[in-house]
Amino acid sequence: MMVQAEAPKYLDLIKNGIFRENTIFRLALSLCPSIAVTNNLRNGVLMGAAVLFVQVMVNITISLMKDFIHPRIRLPIFMLVISGWVTVTDMTMAAFTPEAYKQMGLYIQLIVAFASILARAEMFASKNTVMPSMFDGIGMGLGFLFALTIISFFRELLGKGSLWGLQIINAKPLLIMILPAGGFFAVGILMGFFNWLGMKYEKKSH
Amino acid sequence: MEFSRVFELIIAASLINNFVFTRFLGLCIFFGVSRKMETAVGMSITFTGVMMISAALSWLIFTFVMVPLDITFLKIIVFIGVVAGFVQASDTIMRKISPGLYYKLGIYLALISTNCIILAVPLINAGERYSFIESLAFALGSGLGFALALVIMASIREKLELADVPEPFKGLPIAFIATGLIALAFAGFSGLITI
């Protein structure tokens, strides 16, 4: 018996994006920029905000267009929509946050290649109406922002002793954390930590 | 075009600014494919080939179409289109011309199309306004660097499978940490050649 699936509750969508299907820590997608731009908190947060924006706008756009897209050409259409919004974000950031943009411009442009945004458009936005799609985008985007914030928080704090440019700790910092290697370490350790949390949570609910 | 310039670019792209260990690009594929040596090598070959041709095509379109028409701000959209189109085309062509080769390398083609590196190289080429030969050299270097990264990682991960890793870290987390160690080693290359 075919039952029309009820669009998931909005809050659940948001919680899903942040915890259960968190792009970086659980799905391990779109990792490239997560390490590249998280060597200080400001860049990490800006990148997360950019992804959030693109994700939400793409989801809304695709959801509005879903009835007009021929299934065979949907992937190129999705890519077109995503590249469009990324270009918008790219230009906006170049104009309003030039300093951060100088450091991570390339990675902003690479948002276009994010498997996570494409997957979300394909799996969710193209099959649901605008409101759920928007909240799904918000959820996944917030999850990404959350992950980037945590990573860059630790990397900047340990690597420079500062947060968002404000010096907090005055001891000699752990330089390696702001180097590429430190990025890998940070993500690996945080991933392991989230896995551990997930395992504990699963044990509790049994 | 001096040979030394080409050589510099190849070294720079493959060692000094290795796309995986220094620029953090292509990570999804990197972690996905580096489990076994076999897949690592297959992906390296496919990747270098697609990289060089995509770079060439993107350069041609950028230089002869986009710059004269002053639509360079569309480069993100165009380059993605070029890559996707080329990958699709080579998929079809490979299937018809050499089914044996397609059987071996075909799977990697689909994975490549959403690879960050594939888009990054044309973007960097365009941004730095490299010449045609320079772009090709850069693309070749990036392919070689990626191949190096994959092979190193595969040999480590094959051993890691047998090691006694704590439960939460099994799989990706420990691979990340291993990659971090390799990245540390690669940091030693910085300053080797100043472009």
DSSP type of residue A110: G
B124 and chain A: CB distance < 8 Å anywhere? yes
Beta carbons of A192 and B168 less than 8 angstroms apart:
yes
Residue pLDDT, tens place only, B92-140? 887 787 777 777 776 677 677 667 778 888 888 887 778 888 888 888 8
Question: Does position A54 have pLDDT exceeding 60, yes or no?
Answer: yes
**Confidence (pLDDT) at A195:** 80
How far apart CA A104 and CA A84 sit, in angstroms, is 19
Nearest CA in chain B to A110: B116
In which band, very low, low, confident or very high, does the pLDDT at A144 lie, cut at 50, 70 and 90? Answer: confident
Report pLDDT for A8. Answer: 57
DSSP calls for A128-164: S-HHHHHHHHHHHHHHHHHHHHHHHHHHHHHHHSEET
For the residues of B145-168, what is the DSSP string, one character each? HHHHHHHHHHHHHHHHTTS---GG
Domain range annotation of chain B:
3-187
Q: Is the pLDDT of residue B24 over 70?
A: yes
Q: Which residues contact A82 (CB under 8 A, 6 or more apart)?
A: A54, A58, A111, A112, A114, A117, A118, A121
Judge: B73–A91 Cβ closer than 8 Å, yes or no. yes
Rounded CA separation B175/B171 (Å): 6
pLDDT in tens, B142-156: 888 888 888 888 888
pLDDT of the residue at B50: 85
The amino acid sitting at A93 is M
Six-digit token string for A47: 């990148």
Q: Where are the alpha helices (DSSP H) in A161-204?
A: 180-204
Query: pLDDT digit string (tens) for A120-136?
Result: 777 777 777 888 888 88
Using beta carbons and an 8 Å cutoff, which residues of A are at the interface with B? Answer: 28-36, 76, 79-80, 83-84, 86-87, 90-91, 106, 109-110, 112-115, 118, 176, 179-185, 187-189, 191-193, 195-196, 199
Q: How far apart are CA A176 and CA A186, in angstroms?
A: 10
CA distance B63 to B66: 6
The token pair that represents A78 in the structure block: 């999705």
Assess whether pLDDT exceeds 60 at residue A153: yes
What is the reported pLDDT for A4?
40
Contacts of B120 in chain A (CB under 8 A): 106, 110
What was the pLDDT predicted at A105? Answer: 76
Q: From A41, A77, A60, select the one nearest A141 (Cα to Cα).
A: A60
Subunit contact B173:A188, Cβ cutoff 8 A: yes
What 3-state class would DSSP assign to A69? Answer: coil
Nearest residue on chain A to B128, alpha-carbon basis: A106
**CB-based contacts of A28, cutoff 8 Å, min separation 6:** A191, B28, B31, B172
If you measure CA to CA, which chain A residue comes closest to B116?
A113
pLDDT confidence tier of residue A206, bands split at 50, 70 and 90: low
Q: How many CA atoms lie within 13 A of B58 on its CB side?
A: 35
pLDDT for the residue numbered A3:
39
C-alpha distances out from residue A39 to A60, A118, A146, Å: 31, 26, 15
CA–CA gap between residue A59 and residue A133 (Å, rounded): 6
- Is-contact B47 B146, C-beta < 8 A? yes
Task: Round to whole Å and give the CA distance between B86 and B13.
Answer: 23
Contacts of B171 by beta carbon, 8 Å cutoff, 6+ apart: none
First to last CA, chain A: 31
Q: State how far the Cα of B47 lies from the Cα of B55, in Å rounded to an integer.
A: 12
What is d(CA A171, CA A162) in angstroms, rounded to the nearest whole number?
A: 11
Q: Is the ipTM of this complex over 0.95?
A: no
Please say whether the beta carbons of A187 and A30 come within 8 A: no
Residue A1 is given by DSSP the state -
User: Closest Cα of chain B to A166: distance in Å?
Assistant: 26
3 state SS for A25-68:
CCCCCCCHHHHHCCCCHHHHHHHHHHHHHHHHHHHHHHHHHHHH
Q: Which residues of A touch B25 (CB under 8 A)?
A: 32, 36, 110
CA distance B106 to chain A (A): 19
pLDDT band at B193 (very low <50, low <70, confident <90, very high): low
